[in-house]
């Protein structure tokens, strides 16, 4: 069973949205926060929660966001633009949310060049914080479909060459400030925004999907519990290689909390320009240990809604 219309909370989030200009731009606006994501589902979720009805994103050719076409960088294959973006303010903080049409694993050099150009060179960075956000596979048994992992650490994994076995560290303080009625803004979201019956909870799961014993989805953040250490970027996590990833799980559990294909590449790009204030926010939509090969397509969007709440929490805390 697939959820296609997850309940979305937008009231009370203190968000003011700039109506997107659909005329192509050659650069992103400067802001306090830049969110970079890669998937349609994640962009759709961000547009729904941060867009207040003024933004929508379905596909490359069906969206209301502002196209981005950067001078001097080749266009992605089958795309007329390098990405799409919209702007908003959360509390008093300016935010740019950008969907990148490059995939770091598939177009590594192009993605690196784009990220460097967007963020700006050392000493002239265009943002205070950069958030990379998207879906991932959970490693620990305590992390299930619909949960979100927030971490300032990323590293390359076992299926990439040994010379890539590097670790990167981003934002010094992941938790940030706290609201009056919760330990952190992530705890506030866990208590008030993520619901028991949303999409990936107990009453909506496929075989191998979210287990009933996992309870409702939640945000896990560094220092909030054991084993939340890093997001590990591997060379592949798709269904064709799921058995290979299962065989590596015991080693991956010494390296981090989730598997994805992007964050270490992005972190490497940030390091090259001396930018340290990045954080990874990864929505768990598939589990390498599971026999269910359809988790990603079933839960991608549902997980992304919870991930967008986590992005909001990080911004509120910083």
Higher-confidence residue of 206 and 65: namely 65
Q: Per-domain residue ranges for the chain?
A: 18-317
Say what the pLDDT of residue 104 is.
85
Q: What is the mean predicted confidence (pLDDT) over 76-105?
A: 93
Q: Please check whether residue 171 is in contact with residue 277, taking contact to mean a CB–CB distance below 8 angstroms.
A: yes
Say what the pLDDT of residue 228 is.
67
C-alpha distances (whole Å) from 270 to each of 75, 121, 218, 226, 313 are 21, 10, 28, 27, 22
- CB atoms under 10 Å from CB of 240, counted, come to 9
Tens of pLDDT, residues 14-53: 999 988 888 999 999 999 999 999 989 899 999 999 987 7
Say what the pLDDT of residue 166 is.
86
What is 236-303 written as a DSSP string?
--SGGGHHHHHHTHHHHTTT-SEEESSHHHHHHHHHHTT---EEEEEEEEE-TT-S-TTHHHHHHHHH
Residues whose CB is less than 8 angstroms from the CB of residue 12 and which lie 6 or more positions away in sequence, other chains included: none
* Percent of the chain residues topping a pLDDT of 70: 91
- pLDDT tier, 206 (very low <50, low <70, confident <90, very high otherwise): low
Higher-confidence residue of 6 and 216: namely 216
pLDDT at 204 over 50: no
CATH 3.60.60.10 fits 18-317, yes or no: no
For residue 41, give the nearest of 147, 114, 133, 151 by alpha carbon. 133
Higher-confidence residue of 300 and 167: namely 167
- pLDDT tier, 119 (very low <50, low <70, confident <90, very high otherwise): very high
């Amino acid at each position: 069973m697939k959820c296609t219309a997850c309940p979305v909370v937008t009231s009370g989030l203190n968000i003011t949205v700039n109506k997107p200009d659909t005329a192509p731009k050659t650069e992103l606006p400067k802001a306090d926060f830049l969110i970079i994501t890669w998937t349609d589902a994640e962009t759709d979720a961000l547009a729904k929660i941060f867009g207040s009805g003024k933004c929508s994103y379905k596909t490359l050719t069906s969206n209301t966001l502002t196209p981005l076409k950067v001078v001097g960088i080749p266009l992605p294959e089958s795309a007329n633009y390098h990405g799409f973006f919209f702007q908003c303010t959360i509390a008093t903080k300016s935010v740019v949310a950008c969907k990148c049409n490059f995939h770091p694993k598939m177009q590594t050099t192009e993605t690196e060049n784009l990220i460097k150009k967007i963020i700006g060179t050392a000493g002239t960075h265009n943002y205070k914080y950069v958030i990379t956000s998207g879906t991932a596979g959970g490693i620990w048994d305590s992390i299930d479909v619909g949960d979100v992992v927030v971490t300032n650490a990323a590293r390359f994994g076992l299926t990439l060459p040994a010379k890539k076995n590097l670790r990167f560290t981003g934002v010094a303080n992941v938790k940030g400030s706290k609201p009056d009625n919760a330990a952190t803004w992530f705890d506030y979201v866990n208590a008030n925004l993520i619901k028991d019956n949303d999409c990936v909870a107990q009453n909506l799961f496929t075989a191998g999907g979210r287990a009933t014993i996992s309870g409702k989805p939640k945000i896990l953040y560094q220092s909030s519990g054991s084993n939340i250490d890093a997001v590990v970027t591997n060379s592949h996590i798709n269904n064709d290689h799921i058995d290979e990833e299962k065989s590596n799980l015991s080693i991956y559990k010494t390296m981090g909390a989730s598997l994805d294909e992007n964050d270490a590449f992005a972190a490497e790009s940030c390091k090259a320009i001396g930018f340290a204030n990045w954080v990874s926010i990864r929505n768990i939509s598939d589990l390498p240990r599971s026999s269910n090969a359809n988790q990603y397509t079933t839960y991608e969007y549902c997980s992304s809604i919870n991930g967008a709440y986590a992005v909001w929490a990080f911004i509120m805390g910083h």
